[in-house]
């Protein structure tokens, strides 16, 4: 897929404020600082369209981008950010889960996982919640430039083994680096393929 246009539409505080759900939507989700906004920029080949930061908790609203005038790419706030108060964290979680459960045009969630870490309970639980809620998702490993290739492969395999303890089949898995623009074409072709059958 060639990105002809990529435009910021709006930031929304909750799913009720999001743009009209008239076209297919794909959302990026994952822990704070995992690299959601960076990967969105890399995929769209735009430098600062989605705001990134070294400090976790940068994205606090639901951000919609209109791509090629035909589909939405959505940048969500991160979950599990430890440095905010418990009640604020709960508010964020509610915002995210309500968005996922109520957004009618949501076609697929890309769940981002930092490849440097071993499987974390919070991410695994989140994916199980998606499964139970009937939400289609794919896994996107991020920041592969930070590991040597053999270690990255080892980490991916450990993750797959962990997933197969709960799932009969593995979801679609992508391995990416926003820094090196790796894996971005694969994600776009996947979206293209789904858009074509919708």
Locate 86 and state its tokens. 């418990």
Is residue 112 within a helix (H) or strand (E), and if so which, with residue range? strand 106-114
| Ranges within 60-89 binding ligand GTP (CB under 6 A) | 77-78
Does position 146 interact with ligand GTP (CB under 6 A)? The reply is: yes
Among 59, 142, 156, 177, binds Mg ion (CB under 5 A): 59
| Ranges within 37-56 binding Mg ion (CB under 5 A) | 37
Does position 163 interact with ligand GTP (CB under 6 A)? The reply is: no
* Angle at the Cα of 99 from the Cα atoms of 167 and 48, rounded to 5 degrees: 100
Q: Closer to Mg ion at the Cβ: 36 or 64?
A: 36
- Residues 6+ away with beta carbon under 8 Å from 137: 108, 109, 110, 111, 127, 130, 171
Stretch that binds Mg ion, among 5-13, 35-43, 123-131, 164-172 (CB under 5 A): 35-43
Contact between 44 and 35 under an 8 Å Cβ cutoff? The reply is no
Locate 64 and state its tokens. 């919609």
The site for Mg ion, by CB under 5 A, has a size of: 4
In the bound state, the residue with its beta carbon closest to ligand GTP is 78
Among 21, 179, 190, 195, binds ligand GTP (CB under 6 A): 179
Strands 71-75 and 6-12: unpaired
Interface contacts to ligand GTP, rule CB under 6 A = 32-38, 52-54, 56-59, 77-78, 142-143, 145-146, 177-179
């Amino acid at each position: 897929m060639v990105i002809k246009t990529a435009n910021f539409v709006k930031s929304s505080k909750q799913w009720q404020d999001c743009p009209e759900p008239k076209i297919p939507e794909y959302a990026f989700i994952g822990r704070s600082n995992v690299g959601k906004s960076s990967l969105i920029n890399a995929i769209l080949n735009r430098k600062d369209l989605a705001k990134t930061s070294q400090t976790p908790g940068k994205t606090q609203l639901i951000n919609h981008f209109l791509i090629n005038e035909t589909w939405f790419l959505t940048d969500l706030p991160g979950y599990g950010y430890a440095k905010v108060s418990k009640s604020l964290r709960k508010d964020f979680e509610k915002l995210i889960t309500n968005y996922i459960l109520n957004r009618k045009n949501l076609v697929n969630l890309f769940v981002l996982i930092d490849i440097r870490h071993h499987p974390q309970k919070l991410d695994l639980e989140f994916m199980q919640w998606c499964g139970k809620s009937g939400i289609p998702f794919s896994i996107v490993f991020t920041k592969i430039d930070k590991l040597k290739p053999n270690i990255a492969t080892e980490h991916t395999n450990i993750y797959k083994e962990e997933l197969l303890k709960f799932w009969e089949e593995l979801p679609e898995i992508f391995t990416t680096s926003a820094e090196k623009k790796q894996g971005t074409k694969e994600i776009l072709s996947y979206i293209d393929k789904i858009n074509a059958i919708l």
